[in-house]
Structure 1
């Protein structure tokens, strides 16, 4: 069963990882991007004015490639805090060829192997359990969407799940208890008409 990381843990990971890769961590827990998507995000796919990020490609073996499925291509609303981190990163690091934001020390698209080594060091430094994965940042993001009471279909689209069943199988236990939801909805629909009918009979 998925247990999302607490806020303190994701912030500790962002602080613990090498600064060059810090943005990837923010994109993981702030937008739910997979590692390849975070490492492949380009400047042209960040629309600061519209506060949107367009996820269309990913980094793979040091190259940009198309995402595997249609569902993976998505448009995400982005909060000001994440936009500020993107802006800060751009001020500190030159972009790679094709406008990729996150680069290695050679100024090229970051490789998973290099990132994962830094990730493992950050996990240890942050005092988190060995085996904590970058993918766990997506769980944090998903939990945030659930707490914000977003529609389940919207959450599915934001996470690029192929089916709603995948979303519910993974995160169903995080949704609030639904048993009492809706109580009063039928009263609200019917009572005004019933009350009006009563008044008409009395007149």
Structure 2
């Protein structure tokens, strides 16, 4: 019973205030009053406060515990690589700074001071913004756990970002790059970079491809998964967004290149006694699928053989868009091939690459007079 008369004539009010989210144990609160009426009133008041979640500040969790709660949520609801990224940011930038903090007393000014400390450390604005976003989410977990009243990160603005000029290769530059690759010993790389350049697929999407994802009859690549490595283990997830699930049409020469690599891959895997089936990763050359690092590093190595300025692996995706624009493809086609959620995303990211229509519009006015 929640209300019980004790041997001294007073009344004990015993109420459950929920389950501890860390230990899983029930928490109870006991109060003693003089009369039954006071006990009934108190029981009602406490029930309203605790059972409706209005009693804030009864929790005294450390920053470390709150980050554990946050990371557990990430592990349950986010992709593995996002969880890994958040754990890294917390361990590298936040844990030491906030390990002894009293979360209830951290203010907006304290958060601003920490942001300034990051600026003074020489970190780039983008990196600082990422750290601050994670910090805000950690404090949001503290808010949900009834540790704090308000999130002190609210109202702390992100730093402005200088938009970097997008890098990409023109068709001629890509042809020169491919010509520097040794067909005999580097056919894997020739195939990988060509597929990346002619499809605009993301790195994780390329690495996740199996041979059964390539429809030779329809000349299409079925994109519906992404590959990453977590603690040296291959992890397959859905692509970046639901709109990233798509089918990409490919040209005949690219399909021929893929089939040539497929035969070479069979011979290569036979040396490792690996059976070549349609479930083998397209760019696999040993027991496991390759990591993205080998393809990132090799770009610079190949470029050093000629006069090509290296670009990042992801810039091959930008190069594909530049190629499509050069061929006068419209926004809708580009959106579909890249797997963007909306045309607005395509325009926001790549609009500046499209030819300026202002001059064409002005020139057409001459026809009026």
TM class by smaller structure = 0.7 to 0.9
- 1:42 equivalenced with 2:210 (yes/no): yes
Q: Residue 99 of structure 1: SS of its match in structure 2? A: coil
Q: Does 1:116 align with 2:296?
A: yes
After superposition, residues 109-148 of structure 1 pair within 5 angstroms as: 109-130=289-310, 132-148=311-327
**Structure 1 residue 177 corresponds to structure 2 residue 356:** yes
1:33 CA displacement: 1.2
Pairwise CA RMSD of aligned residues? 2.5
- CA distance in structure 2 between the aligned counterparts of 1:150 and 1:8, rounded to whole angstroms: 19
Alignment of 1:45-124 (within 5 A): 45-61=213-229, 62-94=234-266, 95=276, 98-104=279-285, 106-124=286-304
1:40/1:59 contact within 8 Å kept: yes
TM-score (norm 1): 0.77
Instruction: Kindly indicate whether structure 1 or structure 2 has the higher relative contact order, using CA contacts under 8 Å at least 6 residues apart.
Output: 1
| Long gaps (5+) in structure 1 | 185-203
Q: How far 1:116 moved relative to its partner?
A: 2.5
Cα distance, 1:15 vs. partner? 4.1
- Give the equivalent residue in structure 2 for 1:154: 333
Aligned length: 182
Aligned to 2:124: none
**Partner in structure 2 of residue 200 of structure 1:** none
In the TM superposition, what is the alpha-carbon distance from 1:75 to its structure 2 partner?
0.9
Cα distance, 1:123 vs structure 2: 3.0
Cα distance, 1:55 vs structure 2: 0.9
- Structure showing greater radius of gyration is 2
* 8 Å contact from structure 1 (residues 21, 115) kept in 2: yes
1:28 to 188, 196, 199: 196
Question: Could you tell me which residue of structure 1 aligns to residue 173 of structure 2?
Answer: 9
TM-score, structure 2 as length reference: 0.45
Structure 2's unaligned 5+ residue stretches are 1-164, 267-275
- 8 Å Cα contact 1:96/1:109 also seen in 2: no
Q: Which runs of 4+ in 1 moved over 6 A?
A: none
